Structure 1
Amino acid sequence: MTSILTCPGQGAQQPNMLQHWPEHPVFTQARTLSEAVLGQRLSALDHPEALQHSRSVQLALLINAVAWGRYLFSQGCQPNGLLGLSIGAYPAAVLAGCLKFEEALELVALRGTLMQDAFPEGYGMMAVQGLDRYQLADILARHQAPVYLANINAEQQCVLSGAWAALDAQKPALQAAGGHCQPLRISVPSHCPLMESSAQTLAKAFEAITIQTPEIAYISASKARVLKTPEAIREDLAMNMARQVKWFDASRLLVERGLKVAIELPPSGTLTGLLKRLMPQGHCLRTETTRLDTLQYLTQPDTI
């Protein structure tokens, strides 16, 4: 596998991210379909106030990634795989041909509502730089606080989930061990057992959805492996809100399998930065800051 598209997760959102698309039929179709399914204008999803709510954030990220991914496909880009972080798994599944876009819109609207309703306030996520997963696990075990290791993004970059009071209480121990703590723009405690009940409710909604065998490789950041069957992909999408994100392990697996090109769909550049650490000699690029002809060239099957 030489080239992939990556789809960012919650925390990457930006105000008005759906308002500055290029003039192209792919974007027009994405806007028309999204507004028809959701019954609201896209401007109601990506203004600053709306982005305080998980439903709006997750829908905006889904719509943006699908629109940009389909645009790249229409321009001749041919990646070998798709890898999404958290909510990014949904546009990855759509672009891989596993899930219909209109069904993804309905599922993500439900996903965001379930997560927000379960934890309307007082919970969130905090990034920790400078400590690895084992150091963090040891600190959390010693203090026995209701805080969970949610994301393993890099060798020494992880994310914790829980109540803000519990997260704040962990800061002295984390900082004393050499960690740097940074609250994230996420208002729910994702990727931990606190989300298990909401994930089970979402799984029931998935029972009415037909998942197709992927046309392009679908890589799970929760399992850190390529998933090939509809059953495995269904379970991965439904339950990923309650599962730990193993981004570092998934990325390392792809590099070991020959990954040379990783193109991050808008917005943000977080995933690009994480991958650069593992493939310094490869091409880790952001869609919106890279020439289209470069993206076309690097995603041709015989380029690398």
Structure 2
Amino acid sequence: MSSFWVFPGQGAQQSGMLHTLPNDPLIGECLREANDALNENVLDLDTPAALQSTRAVQLCLLIAGVACSRLLMAQGNTPDYVAGLSIGAYPAAVMAGALSFADAVRLVALRGELMQNAYPKGYGMTALIGLDQSTVEGLVEKIHNKDTPVYLANINADTQFVIAGSDQAMTDVAALAKAQGAAAAKRLAVSVPSHCELLNEPAQTLAQALADVSVQIPTLKYLSGSTARPIFNADKLRDDLAFNMCRVIDWRSTVQTAYERGARLQIELPPGTVLTGLARKVFEQGSAVAFQGARLDTLSALSREEERRHP
């Protein structure tokens, strides 16, 4: 088999995303497990008001990803590779058998709290589309200083990047980017400056919590969204989960690595279709599809066909 399951990061969240999951006993069981781990009703987390909280967003992304992955696996589908963008690393680790779902729920709740408490306002992330990496890095360097910090945070595709930092710094970089011919500069629905050194301290605190959690060697091939390399060691996976919040995400290389290692079917777990769009250029000789909006039997048929071609 050569399929690749990917899990989105913040910005992909949608109002009502847990309420619109497929009506299946496996989904209900997953929601109950999350309720028990948190001692709260997770169905309260996906309202528009609740999703203003980083904690709620990250928990919803984790739960949706694991629930729909379990549904796919119950149909006899198993990926060869898994990877997640930022918070997506947690459902990827759960499905790779490296982290229990209950532990992931508790860790993600802490992760979200640490991130939102570190920067409750005045910071965030902005996508820049239409410029190359060196140009974006040059613009960031022009604006970045102690009072207006800004960093390259995500390398999503050849001409799609995300910056993180203060509101003013991102506004200034966006203005320069448009002057340089950028097709778009769009503020993302992320209220913290992820994937840069501004989150070093929260990452250290999360690492301390992860030190007390059981992490196993992955039973599936887990690709780090930061290094774009497979992780086979439990301690390295623990490090990846703790510190991906303050490391640059190289999603472009992560997708390329999966393809170069033989993956020809990418399935994006809910919510959204952003990662599907990013993968289509790389997967020109394969298929990139999103769970959201697709029929379960269609996804299963694609998986079986890929397994037949590449046993």
Structure 2-normalised TM-score?
0.95
1:174 and 2:177 are equivalent in the alignment: yes
Shift of 1:277: 1.6
- Among 204, 219, 226, the residue aligned to 1:222: 226
Cα distance between partner residues in 2 of 1:61 and 1:250: 20
Q: How big is the alpha-carbon RMSD for the aligned residues of Structure 1 and Structure 2?
A: 1.2
1:52 and 2:52 are equivalent in the alignment: yes
Cα distance between partner residues in 1 of 2:188 and 2:23: 33
Cα distance between partner residues in 2 of 1:247 and 1:143: 24
Shift of 1:21: 2.5
Residue 303 of structure 1 corresponds to: 309
Cα distance between partner residues in 1 of 2:175 and 2:6: 34
Unmatched runs of 5 consecutive residues or more in structure 2:
none
Shift of 1:193: 0.3
**SS of 2:280 mapped into structure 1:** helix
1:165 and 2:168 are equivalent in the alignment: yes
**SS of 1:46 mapped into structure 2:** coil
Unmatched runs of 5 consecutive residues or more in structure 1:
none
Residue 265 of structure 2 corresponds to: 261
Matching of residues 127-206 of structure 1 within 5 Å: 127-145=127-145, 146-179=149-182, 180-206=184-210
1:69-99 per-position Cα deviation (integer Å, ceiling 9, x unaligned): 0110011112111111010000000001000
The more displaced of 46-55 and 36-45 is 36-45
In structure 2, relative to structure 1, the CA distance for the partners of 1:121 and 1:143 (3 Å cut) is: closer
Shift of 1:114: 0.2
**SS of 1:288 mapped into structure 2:** coil
Cα distance between partner residues in 1 of 2:37 and 2:185: 39
Residue 21 of structure 1 corresponds to: 21
Structure 1-normalised TM-score?
0.97
Q: Which amino acid aligns with 2:208?
A: K
Shift of 1:288: 2.7
Q: Contact 2:143–2:150 at 8 Å: present in 1 too?
A: no
Cα distance between partner residues in 2 of 1:197 and 1:45: 26
Q: Contact 1:297–1:303 at 8 Å: present in 2 too?
A: no
Cα distance between partner residues in 2 of 1:21 and 1:87: 19
Matching of residues 14-163 of structure 1 within 5 Å: 14-145=14-145, 146-163=149-166
Shift of 1:263: 0.5
